[in-house]
Amino acid sequence: MIRFLQTPSLAKKVILGGMLLFICVAMVITLIPGTGLDLFGTADANQVGVYANVGDEQVTSAEIQKRAQKEAQQRGVPAQFLGFLVPQVAEQVVSQKALLVEAHRMGLKTTDEELRDELKNGVLSATFYPKGQWIGQDKYDQLLQENGYSIADFERAMKDDLLIRKLQTMVQASATTSDAEVQKEFIKQNVKIKFEYAVLTPDSMSKQINPNEAELRKYYQANLARLKDSIPEQRKVKLALVDASKVAGQATPADAELKRYYDDHREQFRVQDEVNLRHILVKTPPPGLDGKVDQKAVDAARAKAEGLLKQVKGGADFAALAKKDSDDTVSAVNGGSLGWIGKGRTVPEFEQAAFALQKGQTSDLVKSQFGFHIIKIDDKRAAHVQTLAEVKELISPIVAQEKAEKATEALANKVLSAARSEGLDAAAAKSGVNVVTTDFFNQNGVLPGIGQAPEFMTAVFSAKEKSGPAMAKVQQGYAIFQLEAVKPPQTPAFEQVRAQLETQYKQERSTQLLAQKTQELSDRARALHNLKQAAKEVGAEIKTSELVGASSQVPDIGQMANVETAFDLKQGEISSPMQAGRNGVVLQLVERQEPTAAELTARRDEVRETLLRQKRSQAMAIFAAGVKQRMEKDGKIKYNKAEQDRLAKGLAGAAGS
């Protein structure tokens, strides 16, 4: 069995080369600030749950996040927008694993020999077999141990990639393209046209529609089925709000309570060796896809870094130099400061140099995969368990909050218990809590003083009439409520929805009128063989385009893809009615520039290959979607809704921080 592991720089090469669909999920590359992601590592995968089950395979949130981080890095997506990328990546991973299950079902396999052949003769052969020679087991084992990768997982991922490529080859084999298709596509891509066009807009149609009372009442009657019970059920309650903020002032934690919390959570206050540092980075270019590095650029970066180091050693202000010259733009604004960092949070070369320095010392040049660093230590502290005195300010508000929450819940339960025997008004008065009676509200409403309160609304709208007092959690604390009255769902009277009906009526009629008028404009223009005259009759403005191609934009039309049949017109021909966004359009071709036969001959193979790629891609996309849909229907793909929600909430919180 061939075994292999790449260095971090090679890992980038693998990902950028698009070779390994699954290696990019499994590998972790720690990055420094200023390179698009954070210097610090990702969370332990053991602490992350299962996102979905695909056959016998699991898709974890950890692998989704790692894959998304790498795609964000490659595509230059800022870290704060990672949440938008994650759902796409999650579905990619699920789809890939579904394709693997399908490949196995079809009896496809990948052998050890095929794996050896791929490593020896594939795009990475120069790395695996420099000058045709295997890099050697010892070097492989050393790299493997240094990076903490599993041989079995790596080789399985390589085989999985080969297996999907086999499946892809089978699916795409039927894709073909004819000479006629090539010619049509070439002309479509390269023909240019100039045209006159008349535009009709929904707004211009709407101005012509002024329904009277009888028409609106008739429209109301026609839509009664849709309007039935459209006014949702409403309820009125009497409630007493036990506000946690009013209890909090009485919940100052005692020293004994702080000591108890500290003792129960002592391990949380254990800190490792840490350094407070700042650095200056001079970036070096990453290796190309062939693994080679631009040595001239590296030498230039080294020379710049040595010049900066000389200035630092000569007494220059480190923070000022970092602000001016560091390529780590994130830390540069803070004078190069990265704050306090512990071990295991940075790339090895950086960490080793940083922790070897003493407070106040500055390093020589430190080379990492990102470039040359100059590191200065502002402070150091050894591993220890923080004392109660050190963390008192930290834990005091936590203990106070816990105490306030318990006191609030206890008071709420006291009021609820008394309300059930004495009535809500008397119970609230005894505890000094105010009682209010609300107006009628629906389940999606927002109550003054409470705001958005889904749990409270669910409790209120689940309560039975005359069921007595009940309690529900709200953002401010607890609400003890008693149902007073219920209004069942209602169908609105005409007068209640008249304005809404008028708007809807005008929208519907203007859409219909637009289609009708655009058809009439086209018919009239064709009959007259004159678009300008027909447009004048209906009050539409005539405009003239520039000479445009298929990818061009035209005012009031937008992308020419909206009216792509315009490219099929002959000179002087008037089009059928067209829809461009919300507008209606009729065109008359003024000029047509065809690409030459020589241009087609020169680019025929290129266009054919482009068409084939499109058809192959479409065939694979349709196949993959069908496999995934069938597996979901058969229960072979099962999503963990709780984990999906947890992942989404975590990303939303990160994006907002």
pLDDT (tens digit per residue) in 118-172: 878 877 677 667 778 877 777 666 655 555 556 666 778 888 989 999 999 999 9
Q: How far apart are CA 441 and CA 460, in angstroms?
A: 11
* pTM of the complete model: 0.48
Which of 472, 433, 546, 476 minimizes the C-alpha distance to 196? 546
pLDDT, one tens digit per residue, over 337-388 is 999 888 877 888 999 999 999 999 999 999 998 899 999 999 998 888 888 9
Q: Is 361 left (phi over 0), alpha (psi -120 to 50) or beta?
A: beta
Quick one: CA torsion of 378, 384, 390, 395, rounded to 10 degrees? 120
Q: How far apart are CA 369 and CA 614, in angstroms?
A: 37
- Count the Cβ atoms, other than its own, within 10 Å of residue 626: 11
Residue-level pLDDT at 561: 86
In angstroms, how far is CA 161 from the centroid of its own chain?
25
Q: Which residues make Cβ contacts (< 8 Å) with residue 257, sequence separation at least 6?
A: 399, 403
Hunting for tokens 């389940």 — which residue is that? 443
Residue-level pLDDT at 550: 87
Q: Which residues make Cβ contacts (< 8 Å) with residue 412, sequence separation at least 6?
A: 242, 471, 477, 478, 480
HSE-up of residue 7 (Cα within 13 Å, Cβ side)? 13
Q: Report yes or no: 557 and 563 within 8 Å, Cβ to Cβ.
A: yes
Quick one: CA torsion of 503, 508, 512, 514, rounded to 10 degrees? 40
Query: CA 480, 485, 489, 492 torsion: positive or negative?
Result: negative
Sheet holding 637-639, edge to edge: 57-60, 50-54, 637-639
Hunting for tokens 């000179």 — which residue is that? 571
User: What stretches in the chain show pLDDT beneath 50?
Assistant: 1-48, 652-657
Q: List Cα–Cα distances, 372 to 285, 307, 406, in angstroms.
A: 11, 12, 54
SS3 assignment, position 653: helix
What does DSSP assign to residue 451?
A: B
Q: How far apart are CA 549 and CA 194, in angstroms?
A: 9
